[in-house]
């Protein structure tokens, strides 16, 4: 017997009492000749109760840095709020919203306060007051395991809307926090620093928030293997600057430059101490800074959202996210 198309036949033979053989017919859905027999009671394919192939799940797209989202946050901070002197109500408003955003992403958030002295904010006399850091980490963060820190200062000088300096850095930090939460990265701490801007000359009158944070780290500093400061990261440029204040952060800087090269993003190494990374390096902790391209609106009323370039935000965000994701 031959099987017609779409029909598989089973030759069922029955031994007759007289020794003859009867060939009983074909049934659709029977196994092909030579195939192992179907166990009794197994439903035919397509019949009620028959098992169906398990569909192969579609791969989940890798999360990507959204420069559009970062640019919207620059508009919010520098456009809607404007100047954010570290001891003013405008800074507190920005810190409240950053805290809310991070809480919404599932992070534990702390807001330690600290005193800031009176001084000169780039030509404007300012009174003493109180500022705060916004510190966020996953609920399962373990300070006894190696971890990394991503930081950006939230304040501005007294008169500047601070789009580039430093809504750009905070915007990139918030987008990185979103990506890290989406991938359940555990050993990363995000900090929006208060009072980075100077109120006088020298280190003692600069980086108040990060200096206070490092002073309070205690033994947790022993497990912090890297710190990245995002400061002035958005004006148009041919390259992404990645800086250190001295030799303590040089290995980290070189690691980040290698990540940029692997992404085919032009980047250059540089030196500089005028941001929060320097508070960490002075304490012997490896740190590096993204940013520091010169621009006309620096520390002025002209530091408005139109100076920030979406493409540069994307380059910085992609480098840091690739580095961060690879470490986890």
What would the pLDDT profile of 240-276 be if each residue is shown by its tens digit?
Answer: 999 999 999 999 999 999 999 999 999 999 999 999 9
For the cut 60, the answer to whether the pLDDT of residue 169 exceeds it is: yes
Residue 24 has what pLDDT? 39
For the cut 70, the answer to whether the pLDDT of residue 41 exceeds it is: no
- For 15, the token pair is 């031994």
- pLDDT more than 90, % of the chain: 79
Q: First CA to last CA across the chain, in angstroms?
A: 63
Give per-residue pLDDT as tens, 69-101: 999 999 999 999 999 999 999 999 999 999 999
What is the distance between the alpha carbons of residues 86 and 74, in angstroms, rounded to a whole number?
17
- For 82, the token pair is 């404007």
Q: What is the 3-state secondary structure (H, E, C) of 20-52?
A: CEEEECCCCCCCCCCCCCCCCCCCCCCCCCCCC
Give per-residue pLDDT as tens, 127-159: 999 999 999 999 999 999 999 999 999 999 999
For the chain, how many residues are written?
328
SS3 assignment, position 59: coil
CA-wise closest residue to 257 among 279, 239, 281: 239
What's the CATH fold of domain 67-327? Aminopeptidase (3.40.630)
Residue 43 has what pLDDT? 55
For the cut 50, the answer to whether the pLDDT of residue 4 exceeds it is: no
CA distances from 94 to 84, 234, 276 (A): 8, 19, 19
pLDDT band, very low/low/confident/very high, at 327 (cuts 50, 70, 90): confident
Query: What predicted TM-score, i.e. pTM, was given to this entire model?
Result: 0.83
Residue 183 has what pLDDT? 97
SS3 assignment, position 319: helix
The mean-pLDDT minimum among 28-32, 61-65, 184-188, 319-323 falls in: 28-32
293 Cβ contact list (under 8 Å, min separation 6): 232, 235, 236, 237, 241
For the cut 90, the answer to whether the pLDDT of residue 211 exceeds it is: yes
Contact indicator for 308, 234 with CB cutoff of 8 Å: yes
pLDDT band, very low/low/confident/very high, at 102 (cuts 50, 70, 90): very high
Strand-strand pairing, 224-230 and 287-290 = parallel
- Where do the structural domains in the chain lie, given as residue ranges? 1-35, 67-327
Residue 209 has what pLDDT? 98
CA-wise closest residue to 306 among 314, 316, 315, 296: 296
What is the distance between the alpha carbons of residues 269 and 253, in angstroms, rounded to a whole number?
7
Other Cβ atoms less than 10 A from the Cβ of 41: the count is 6
What is the distance between the alpha carbons of residues 93 and 84, in angstroms, rounded to a whole number?
9
């Amino acid at each position: 017997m031959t099987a017609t198309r779409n029909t598989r036949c089973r030759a069922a033979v029955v031994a007759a009492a007289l020794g003859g053989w009867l060939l009983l017919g074909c049934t659709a859905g029977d196994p092909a000749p030579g195939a192992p027999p179907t166990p009794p009671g197994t439903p035919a394919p397509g019949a009620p109760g028959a098992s169906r192939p398990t569909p192969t799940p579609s791969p989940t797209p890798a999360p990507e840095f959204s420069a559009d989202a970062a640019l919207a946050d620059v508009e919010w901070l520098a456009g809607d709020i404007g100047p954010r002197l570290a001891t003013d109500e405008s800074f507190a408003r920005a810190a409240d919203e950053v805290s809310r955003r991070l809480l919404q992403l599932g992070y534990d958030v702390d807001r330690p306060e600290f005193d800031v002295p009176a001084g000169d904010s780039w030509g404007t006399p300012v009174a003493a007051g109180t500022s705060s850091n916004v510190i966020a980490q996953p609920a399962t963060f373990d300070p006894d395991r190696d971890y990394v820190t991503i930081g950006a200062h939230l304040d501005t000088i007294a008169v500047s809307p601070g789009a580039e300096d430093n809504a750009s850095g905070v915007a990139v930090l918030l987008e990185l926090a979103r990506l890290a939460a989406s991938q359940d990265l555990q050993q990363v701490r995000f900090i929006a620093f208060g009072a980075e801007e100077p109120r006088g000359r020298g280190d003692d009158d600069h980086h108040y928030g990060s200096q206070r944070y490092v002073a309070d780290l205690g033994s947790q500093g022993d497990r912090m293997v890297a710190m990245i400061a995002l400061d002035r990261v958005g004006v148009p440029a041919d390259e992404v600057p990645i800086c250190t204040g001295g030799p303590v952060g040089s290995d980290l800087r070189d690691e980040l430059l290698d990540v940029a090269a692997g992404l085919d993003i032009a980047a250059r190494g540089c030196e500089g101490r005028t941001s929060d990374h320097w508070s960490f390096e002075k304490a012997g902790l490896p740190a590096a800074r993204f940013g520091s391209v010169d621009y006309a609106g620096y520390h002025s009323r002209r530091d408005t959202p139109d100076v920030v370039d979406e493409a540069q935000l994307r380059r910085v965000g992609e480098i840091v996210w690739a580095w961060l994701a690879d470490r986890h």
